[in-house]
Structure 1
Amino acid sequence: MKTRPSGTAAQNDGGKPTALIAEDEPPIAAALQRELAKAWPALQIVATVVNGLDAIERIKALQPDVAFLDISMPGATGLDVARACAKLATPPQIVFVTAYDQYALDAFDAAAIDYLLKPVDPARLARTVDRLRELLARAHVPPDAAADTHVHADLQRLLGQLEQITRNVQTENRSQDTSRSAPLRYLRASSGNDIRIVPVDEVLYFEAADKYVVVTTRTGEVLIRTSLKELCAQLDPARFWQVHRGTVVNVDQVESASVSALGKMSLKLRGHSGVVAVSKQYAHLFRQM
C-alpha cells in the first residue's frame, strides 16, 4: 500500500489494502464488491458511492489504495474524479469500469492503470487484482520524487487516452445519427472480456434491463449498454415489434402465438425453447396467427 502519514483516515485494522467503489448502478456495484471479496479477500471496501462528486470527497477523506470508477456518473464523471485524484499527494490506483468496449481495449492495455468492462468478468478481475497487488507492493519501498512523478505521469497519460476515447464515442454517435435512415445491421456486445459482433437478423428478441438491453439469440444472451428506446430508433420497425413495455421481438423469428386459459398471450420463437409474453396492449398484432 502507499506510504501515508501516521494517523490518517487510510489506517485500518491489520493494515489491509483499501478500496472505494464509485458506480451509479447499485446492482453492478454490489456484483463488483462480491467478486472482489472472492478474488481479493484481504481488500477492505471503505466506501461505495453513486455520485462522482461524492467519490472525490470520500477519496480525499479516506485515502483508499484503489478507486474503482464508473466512467459515466452523475455529479462528476469518472474522468473528473481521476483528474481530482491526480492532484493528490498520494493518489489511489485507478481502475475504470467502462462500457466503452470498442476503444478501451487498445487504450487501457497500453496504460499502467487497469480497466474492467461491464459486466465484470471474474477471470478478468483476477488479472486486475494481480496487477493491483503488484503495484501496491511496490509502494512499500521508501517514497522518492522520481517514483511519485512516474505515478502522476501514468495517471495524466491515462486521462489523455480516456478523453480521446470520449471524443471517438461522440464522433461515432454523431455518425450514427446522420445515417439513422439505414436500419441497424450489427450489434457490438460485451461477452466477458470479449467483444461480440451480433447480426441483427439473428436476434430473437430484446429485453430492457435497467441501463442495458439483454439480446437473446439461439446461442444465448449478451448485454449492450443502451436503452430499449434508443435501440428501437435504430431498428427496422417492419421487422421488430414491441410486444411488452420492455420487450421487442424479431417478427421474422415468431413461429406461433398462443393464448392461455387465463387469456394471456405468448409467442413461440423458432429454435428457442422459451416463450415471450405479449401484453394486452399489443395482443392485436398476433390475433390472426
Structure 2
Amino acid sequence: MKALLLDDEILVLNNLKFLLKNFPQIEIIYESTSAAEVVSWIKENEADVLFIDISMPDINGIDLAEYASGIRPKLKIVFITAYDNYALEAFRANTVDYLLKPITLPKLTKTIKKLENYMGDYGSDIIRKSESQKLTPKIQGYVEDKCYIISSREGIFIKAEPRRIVLVSAKGEYLLKNPMTYWEELLKRHHWFRCHRGYLINLDKVVSTYPLFNQTYGVQMQGSKEEVIVSRSYIPEFKRLFSL
C-alpha cells in the first residue's frame, strides 16, 4: 500500500514514519507538514491511504480529506488527532480508522489490519485495480420494463418494502428481482453491510450515525434523506466497522 503522510507536527510525523517501518506492506511515497503541499501533490499523484492530522493551523483535516477523496475516490483515510470528539464527524470522509495520539505500535497494528481487510491484499497497485474492477458486482435494477445496470459502488442502500425490494441510488430508485438474502451474500465482500432485516447499506455512503430509542441507531446516507435503521442485533458489528 502506498501511503501519504500529513501532520503539521514534525515529531508526530517522524514517530509515525518510524512505526510504519514495522509494516513492509506499507510504502511511504510522500510526507509533509504542509496541507497546501499535500493538496498540490494529490492533484498530480495517487496513493492508497492518507494518514492525516485533523487539527492543523491552515486547514481542517476532515475538510482536506473530503477534498482529497473527491479527487481520488479510492483513497482511504486514517485520521490522527489528540482529540476524540471528532470521531463521528471524521467518518464523513472515506475513513478506515481514527487514531488517537500518542500513536503506538499496537494501535497502528490494528489500523493496518483494517486497511488490509478494507482494501484487500493483492500485492501490487496494478493487480489491485484490475481485480477490483473485475470483482465489482453489477446490480440489475428495473424501472417499469426497462433494466438498468448499476455498479454496486453507486448504490446507496437496498431496502425491503411490502412485496418488493428497492435499490436506492443517487440517480433514483430501482426494483430488484432477487430477495435481500441474495443481495446480502453478493455484496457483503464489497463493503456493504446488512444493518437491519429491511436494510442493506453501502458503507462508503455512510455520512453520520446516532443513537435512537430501544438501543437502535439511525444512519444518514450520502445522497438520500431517508433515515436508515441499525437494529440491535447488528449494532456490535456496525460499531466495530466504524471503530465507534
Larger Rg: 1
Higher percent of residues as strand? 2
